[in-house]
């Protein structure tokens, strides 16, 4: 993916020699997100959701452990038929518990995406607005989530402060990229 992006950039740079001006900027979206006032509310809501799921999983885990402990305790006095029934019940509970854990993880990921989507949309709109208003042909991403496209750049092409202003956030004194 990065190689394709770099090839695209080099191709555009080659064509830019024929164009009048080809401005490229960059920004660290993660850093911008980290300074958005709305982030704290989103994180708190997600944490509450995650805690709710964790508590539910712990409750189901305790129930499963309790039934297994009961099975272990009563195993010496069980008839073959009761033992087979209890083992089938424990296996079924274990399978349902594992399915519940998987579903809970998917639900948490979906909730996280749902909560963060408006923030990323807001950042995306601000980036597009800055790109159009400032005449940038491209605005590339930097960050730590594997989205890096910029390997090195002059700080004068960092458009983070312009994006902060678009978002109504006072830019920090020293941009961190």
Q: How far is CA 138 from the centre of its chain?
A: 24
Q: 129 or 2: which carries more pLDDT confidence? A: 129
In tens, the pLDDT along 123-161 reads 999 999 999 999 888 888 887 655 555 666 678 888 999
Q: How far is CA 82 from the centre of its chain?
A: 47
The confidence score (pLDDT) of residue 175 equals 46
In tens, the pLDDT along 51-96 reads 999 999 999 999 999 999 999 999 999 999 999 999 999 999 999 9
Within 8 A by CB and 6+ apart from 62, the residues are none
SS3 51: helix
Q: Where are the domains of the chain?
A: 2-166
Q: Model pTM?
A: 0.73
Q: 44 or 14: which carries more pLDDT confidence? A: 44
């Amino acid at each position: 993916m990065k190689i394709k992006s770099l090839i695209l950039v080099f191709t555009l740079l080659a064509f830019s020699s024929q164009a009048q001006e080809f401005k490229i900027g960059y920004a660290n979206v993660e850093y911008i997100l980290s300074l958005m006032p709305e982030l704290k509310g989103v994180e708190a809501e997600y944490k509450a959701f995650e805690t709710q799921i964790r508590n539910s999983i712990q409750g189901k885990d305790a129930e499963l452990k309790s039934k297994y402990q009961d099975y272990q305790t009563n195993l010496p006095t069980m008839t073959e038929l009761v033992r087979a029934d209890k083992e089938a019940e424990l296996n079924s509970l274990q399978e349902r518990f594992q399915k519940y854990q998987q579903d809970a993880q998917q639900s948490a990921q979906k909730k996280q995406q749902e909560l963060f989507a408006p923030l990323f949309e807001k950042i995306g709109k601000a980036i597009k607005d800055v790109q159009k208003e400032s005449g940038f042909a491209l605005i590339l991403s930097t960050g730590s989530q594997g989205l890096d496209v910029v390997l090195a750049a002059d700080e004068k092409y960092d458009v983070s402060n312009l994006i902060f202003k678009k978002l109504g956030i006072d830019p920090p004194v020293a941009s961190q990229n």
